[in-house]
Structure 1
């Protein structure tokens, strides 16, 4: 089966690299925000990969073309929906799929979503959609996108037994992703509101060490944290540039204090110049890598920081 996997723009190389380790998957090509691959047999291995949001079978041509539904003939019978704003096209395609494939239309509980995309018509597979693979998380309006969270924790290169801190943990999306990266990872989180910390605690299933507190005053000993990961407030939904002028230098000073000598911090923000200036003014940290991401109208940069040589 040939599939197109949609991912965060700027992270397709990470997805392609992870797919090459799956015996049942062959990577065909990689674009800016997607990877085409061929899957043999079961989809179980692919389902376990979390660096993509949806997987779809490309459909040839447009509805009404002779071979349009041919790639779907080996599936089903199953529930489907048609995702298009054109009501006439939707009604016609629903009737065609029901007649030709024997499927039934169920927009609320679908196994396949036949939809038009910027790259043409595709059939999204429900079992590989991120809402099915990631499980249900309680989320705040400004919570990190789960696929973006997976990108950040991959860049953190978390190893077994390490202590991983998110000083802006919110509802804990990054910590949930970090906890899956290696055996016996100890996740630590803090946030300024008790409501956020409680959501994170529920999402983590009671695991992890979570506290209510400020990133400017971390409740961790010196040189005690191996990895820091954070989606920093950058003024779109949380905070403001003026607040960040005080917050970023103070938080970075604390990150420099708690990181181990071989520690690494992965920080994402759209307040880019301010973060760069703040890092330059903090003794003990340096930027070693930058990665621009694009998703949902946002264009943040992920900064990977390490300790300077002393």
Structure 2
């Protein structure tokens, strides 16, 4: 019997994860709770959707811990135990050490989460499956970036732009999954430096063009971009709600200018009123879909934006 896998993803992306498992891998799953999916059929790390952050096994007894070791392919893995109750933590450490394994909270292969009733598989984590990125405080989590890209419906050869790319998460994840091409643009020099390093470290420098520029004055030709995907500043960690009243309309004007006639943008923001009003006043754009996503204590909305009219003659 296959051991059930517990898949964690950002809340709001569960149906996309389950749909990809079903359609691409012919794997059935069920929703257990917001952001938590159970998969009862065999699955390998390379088959997991990039929207999946963490993979675990249900914790029951010593046999479940042994099954986790078999899945990661390490007979005697290092481990750590997470438990609020010191007694429960000590008990599990003793039980697992009796198997000949090493308790190493700083360099673990298995994380035994007693309170959560799960065993996290270290080598199946997003950063190990997809890639380790250098971050800044407001960096978009990788699984969220993957979800935004999924909503964008990119095809082979499409040119992607993130005009507020920060350390380049969205374009780099796209390059790792699809192969690009993509533009990573940000006006912050430190973010741009890290984006260059991230692209180089993950060997996608040829697919991702990293530029230091302003999202309100893009160094790109009219009609040159097929898809725009971006986590916009929304005042919780970067910028302010007041600033967005002028920033969002300016960004949207540039997005309208650079998008192809059938282009699409997926824009994430928690400044929902200002964003909706900005799109409503943009003469050539409209919101065609919305999806609320929850992660790291915020609940922004991913807006799917398309043209409301064809570009004027002389533009792509």
TM-score strictly above 0.5: yes
- Alpha-carbon spacing, 1:233–1:128, altered in 2? closer, same or farther (3 Å): same
Q: Check 1:84–1:290 CA distance in 2 against 1; reply closer, same or farther (3 A cut).
A: same
Please give the secondary structure, in 1, of the residue aligned with 2:17. Answer: helix
Structure 2 CA distance, aligned partners of 1:212 and 1:54?
33
Paired residue for 2:125, among 102, 121, 129? 129
2:203 is the alignment partner of 1:199: no
Instruction: Give 1:226's aligned residue.
Output: 226
**Deviations along 1:239-298, whole A, 9 cap, x unmatched?**
111111110001101101110011000000110010000001011111011000111110
SS in 2 for 1:160: coil
Shift of 1:209: 2.1
After superposition, the Cα gap between the structure-2 partners of 1:264 and 1:24, relative to the gap in structure 1 and judged at 3 Å, is closer
Whole-angstrom CA distance in 2 between matches of 1:104 and 1:24: 37
1:116 aligns with 2:118: no
Scaled by the length of structure 2, what TM-score is found?
0.88
Are 2:69 and 1:73 aligned?
A: no
Task: Tell me how far apart the structure 2 counterparts of residues 116 and 248 of structure 1 sit (CA, whole Å).
Answer: 45
8 Å CA contact retained: 2:14, 2:31: no
Pick from 153, 156, 161: which aligns with 2:152?
156
Contact 1:16–1:30 under 8 Å retained in 2: no
Alpha-carbon distance change, 38 to 213 in structure 1, aligned in 2, over 3 angstroms:
same
Of 201-210 and 136-145, deviating more is 201-210
- Cα distance in 2 for partners of 1:280, 1:181 equals 33
- Equivalent residues in 2 for 1:132-143, closer than 5 Å: 132-143=128-139
Aligned pair partner of 1:186 in 174, 181, 185: 181
Contact 2:4 2:39 in 1 (8 A): yes
Label 1:44 to 1:235 Cα distance change in 2 as closer, same or farther (>3 A): closer
Q: Distance in 2 between matches of 1:246 and 1:194?
A: 22
Q: 2:306: which partner in 1?
A: 306
- State how far apart, in whole Å, the 1-side matches of 2:24 and 2:4 are: 15
2:54 is equivalent to residue 54 of structure 1: yes
Name the counterpart of 1:63: none
Give the corresponding residue for 1:20.
22
Runs of 4+ in 1 over 6 A off after TM superposition: none
Q: CA deviation at 1:115?
A: 0.4
- Evaluate the alpha carbon distance shift between residue 24 and residue 94 of structure 1 in structure 2; reply closer, same or farther with a 3 A threshold: farther
Cα deviation digits, residues 93-116 of structure 1 (max 9, x gap) = 1001222x3322121222211103
Q: Secondary structure at the match of 1:4?
A: strand
Tell me by how many angstroms 1:53 deviates: 1.1
What's the counterpart of residue 284 of structure 1?
A: 284
Query: Structure 2 regions of 5+ residues with no counterpart?
Result: 311-316
Aligned partners of 2:89 and 2:114 also within 8 Å: no
Corresponding residue pairs, total: 297
The Cα shift of 1:143 comes to 0.8
1:23 shift after superposition: 4.1
In the other structure, the counterpart of 1:7 is: 9
Within 2, Cα distance between the matches of 1:255 and 1:197?
Answer: 20
Which residue in 1 is equivalent to 2:84?
Answer: 85
Secondary structure of 1:180 counterpart:
helix
Q: CA deviation at 1:22?
A: 5.0
Residue aligning to 2:102? 104
List alignment gaps of at least 5 residues for structure 1. Answer: 61-67
Report the Cα distance in structure 2 between the residues aligned to 1:258 and 1:190, rounded to whole angstroms.
14
Aligned mates of 2:288, 2:240 — CA distance in 1: 26
